[in-house]
Structure 1
Amino acid sequence: MRKVLILFLSILAITLLGETFAAPVKKDVLANGLTILSKESRTNDIVAVQVYLRMGTRYETDEQAGLSTLLQSLLLKGTDTRTAVQIATEIESVGGRISTAAEKDYGNISLLVTREGLDVGLDVLFDILQNATFPEDKVAQGKALLLRRIASRRDQLLASTFDLFQETYYQNYPYHKPRLGYPETVKRFTRKSVLDFYKTYYVPNNLVFSLVGNFDSSAVIGRIKRRFGRLPRRDIPSPPEAIFSPASRSREAIRERESQTAWMVLGYSAPSITSPDFTAMQVLNAVTGGSMDSRLFVELRDKKGLAYQIGSLYVPRVGPSFYADYMGTRPEQFELARKGILSEMGRIKSELVKDEELKRTKTYLRGTFIMSQESNAGQASLLGQYELLGPGYRFVDEYPKLIASVTKEDVLKIARKYLTYYTLGAILPGKSHVKESTKDK
């Protein structure tokens, strides 16, 4: 089945590669620093508009933890001239969708409309970007919802284990904070703190517009210039000063919770999104735990029966990044499972990947990447993210070629460079919800 999937991805990638990236991307930068990426496509009548800006966990102080998430959740709750209901009604009237998000390195507003509904959609979007009001009652409702989300996440043991891992791995670096924040920080937020954060980061030189679809780029760029071109450039605060020091020894943090399953996340330092090592680490991750045919899945789940759930992920960020293996296992098998993961990490550091395994992995990565760009929204998202976060929008075209160029020697070199000292976050069954042990190994 796996080989059939790989063959399918190969054929589809070849078919879509020309279609997906054939049209050129136009980049315009206004005098005030606002960036516009536009790509016309006539494959359908859909227009995807993504707006990205630098904000998120990396830009928050510890006292502001969760403020980006709260702000983004309130953007659609009203402007100077529109209520939340009017915003929703206008977008729905043209069959469109609008949503917001906050991540560790950025915030995002996503608009999806038809060609005929683009004018209406842009009017609403521009209003939100400039005139959001954050009514007191909506702020109170948003805080209550965010507190419920925090409580819900704590009940999700794998998610809680990832949070524990990141706290331990990042130490004092801003990424250590959960994206949703803490109950004590969220409770202190006011309308003023949300509005001040909005005015600080929603400035022209911090915005990247990314548009893909059936539209007249000259006309849309003209509209953006008329609406935003005269706004002044403003200084954007740098992320809180913090030094990230890669671990000089392995670290472990263990908490006890009421559970029938033991959960662990075992991770290492990894290259940032702008590093030359980025694509080689993508390949390494796919080999070790990125699919159901990966080594962790086959060796530790299929052959040894150690895992209920297992895999790996590589999280490339603007700042310090990480690669991590994760697993849910029976409590009595926890130590055996941990040693199993470490054994597989030792294997990837000590021997070259087989030619056929490398070929399958690169085909899989290339195919899934092309498929992720099949829609206008997918293309607009990746163009905007790469432009904002550092590699630049052209990296979308370079990525498949870079993956194809990765050798088995590259994978071995990357493994030996990054997979040195590990950080372990684990949640084990126990009566206590607060007992915690943190130690250096």
Structure 2
Amino acid sequence: MTTLPRNSHIHRTVLDNGIVVLLTENPTADIIAGRIFIRSGSCHEPSEKSGLAHLLSALLTKGCDGLSSMEIAEQVESVGASLGTDASADYFLVSLKTVTADFANMLALAGRIMRSPTFPELEVELERRLALQDIRSQKEQPFSIAFEQLRLAMYKDHPYSQSGLGDEKTMASLTRDDLVKYHQTYFRPDNLVISIAGRIKSSDAIALIQEVFGDWQAPINQPIPGLTVSEIDTAPHAISTFQQTQQSIIMLGYLAPAVDSPDYAALKLLSTYLGNGLSSRLFVELREKRGLAYEVSAFYPTRLLTASFIVYMGTAPENTRIALDGLKNEVDLLSSAPLCDDTIQAAKNKILGQYALGKQTNAQIAQIYGWYETLGLGIDFDIRFQEMISAVNAEQIYAAACRHLLTPYVSIVGQEEAVRKAIKSGNSKQ
């Protein structure tokens, strides 16, 4: 067992079959939460199989060797536990939470569905139809349309260009054989991180995991397929969809660095300053002072590969042009002069306070440490992230803005006349 010195309350162990186990002992509540990460997500799908990881996440609990979907549900619900799955761009996730006395049984059930899913044909067909309904539903939602076209404009052939749901063509073409192949390729012990937090000793957790997963061996002479990533060769431009909506959705996107970049902390802080909460710059300036925004925000997701820095707002159709100008102007101000120290400190306090609040429950603790390990950052990133935020200064923030937040990709959804005027105005100012 190896323990990182700055996180002495977290035990990190690598089992003989390659599974990384993280254990955070927290005896304050009689609850244990587990997060089982597979280091493969939707970005590992071939483009023609887009939506495959999502479909697999919907089906993993719908049957396994010896248990039907209903029997799995009954085992979980009979003890008031939770067991779920999810797929993101960078990883696949199995989540469980239960009282301490039932943890061994729930872990065994999770191991069973992970190692021997049956993917019943009737369940495959049902979940595929439900996914297709979700895809069609998103086509009616202005925010989803704006985000989809922005992502495609920015990433093009890059794995991050794909929607987690895929599209109607790819989802309709997925088969049970595709699910089996994806599962056999990526669900293997040397591709797993198991993070547990709760009222359990490290030695007991290791013993339980050994019992459930210890005999699982990786295929011999079959390395985990690497991720093929094409260069992003797109240039910022505007893209629009005309729709008779009650509001225009405006999004600005900037290609931004991955989590391992020296600019990561500065951009995280800028995202918080611009669009996080009722005191954020965008909310105060564009909604409170100018009355332009129904909603307005910014986000910069943590990504293993090239990420995106996005600001967006919803506005009345007649305000589309001035709202676009106002949104872009607020971002442009970041590269016109450094922020003052008081503004930076306020943003630091907000992001660090929210970060601390995001680690209150066992589920949150298991999630964050497992996530960092899965991304290759190590559990020590928990402390390093806070140190990076605390240390970043005005010059570094200004330099990051000048490097990454200059010319945006623009995505607008709204009524045709309003959108055309906004784009024309924007083009004339470039």
Aligned counterparts of 2:238 and 2:365: Cα–Cα separation in 1: 39
* Counterpart selection for 1:387 from 368, 373, 379: 373
- The alpha carbon displacement at 1:207 in A equals 0.7
Q: Which residue of 1 aligns with 2:29?
A: 44
1:109-148 to 2 correspondence within 5 Å? 109-148=94-133
* Counterpart selection for 1:335 from 310, 316, 321: 321
Greater Cα shift, 205-214 or 79-88: 79-88
TM-score normalized by structure 2? 0.92
> Can you give the 5+ residue segments of structure 2 that lack an aligned partner in the other structure?
1-5, 418-422
Aligned counterparts of 1:361 and 1:180: Cα–Cα separation in 2: 34
Q: Does 1:292 align with 2:240?
A: no
- The alpha carbon displacement at 1:424 in A equals 1.0
TM-score normalized by structure 1? 0.90
1:253-332 to 2 correspondence within 5 Å? 253-332=239-318
Amino acid at match of 1:356: D
Partner-residue secondary structure (3-state), 2:67: coil
Residue by residue over 1:23-62, the C-alpha shift from the partner in whole angstroms, topping out at 9 and shown as x without a partner, is 6111111233211111111110110000111222211111
Aligned counterparts of 1:34 and 1:202: Cα–Cα separation in 2: 11
> Can you give the 5+ residue segments of structure 1 that lack an aligned partner in the other structure?
1-20, 432-436
Q: Which residue of 2 aligns with 1:360?
A: 346
Partner-residue secondary structure (3-state), 1:94: coil
- The alpha carbon displacement at 1:229 in A equals 3.1
Moved over 6 A (4+): 437-441
The number of residues matched between the two structures is 414
Q: Which residue of 2 aligns with 1:243?
A: 231
Aligned counterparts of 1:241 and 1:343: Cα–Cα separation in 2: 33
Residue by residue over 1:189-228, the C-alpha shift from the partner in whole angstroms, topping out at 9 and shown as x without a partner, is 1111111111111111111000000013212212322433
Q: Which residue of 1 aligns with 2:238?
A: 252
Would the aligned equivalents of 1:52 and 1:385 in 2 still touch at CA under 8 Å?
yes
Identity among equivalent positions (%) equals 31
Aligned counterparts of 1:111 and 1:23: Cα–Cα separation in 2: 24
Amino acid at match of 1:191: R
Aligned counterparts of 1:22 and 1:96: Cα–Cα separation in 2: 29
Aligned counterparts of 1:373 and 1:195: Cα–Cα separation in 2: 35
Q: Does 1:187 align with 2:165?
A: no
Would the aligned equivalents of 1:58 and 1:175 in 2 still touch at CA under 8 Å?
yes
- The alpha carbon displacement at 1:399 in A equals 2.1
Would the aligned equivalents of 2:104 and 2:208 in 1 still touch at CA under 8 Å?
no
Amino acid at match of 1:146: A
Would the aligned equivalents of 1:60 and 1:67 in 2 still touch at CA under 8 Å?
yes
Aligned counterparts of 2:22 and 2:262: Cα–Cα separation in 1: 24
* Counterpart selection for 1:401 from 378, 381, 387: 387
Aligned counterparts of 2:232 and 2:218: Cα–Cα separation in 1: 30
- The alpha carbon displacement at 1:259 in A equals 1.1
Q: Which residue of 1 aligns with 2:82?
A: 97
Amino acid at match of 2:42: T
Q: Which residue of 1 aligns with 2:69?
A: 84
Q: Which residue of 2 aligns with 1:33?
A: 18
Aligned counterparts of 1:133 and 1:216: Cα–Cα separation in 2: 33
Aligned counterparts of 1:225 and 1:119: Cα–Cα separation in 2: 11
Aligned counterparts of 1:94 and 1:402: Cα–Cα separation in 2: 42
- The alpha carbon displacement at 1:159 in A equals 1.9
Aligned counterparts of 1:133 and 1:220: Cα–Cα separation in 2: 27
Partner-residue secondary structure (3-state), 1:310: strand
Partner-residue secondary structure (3-state), 2:60: helix
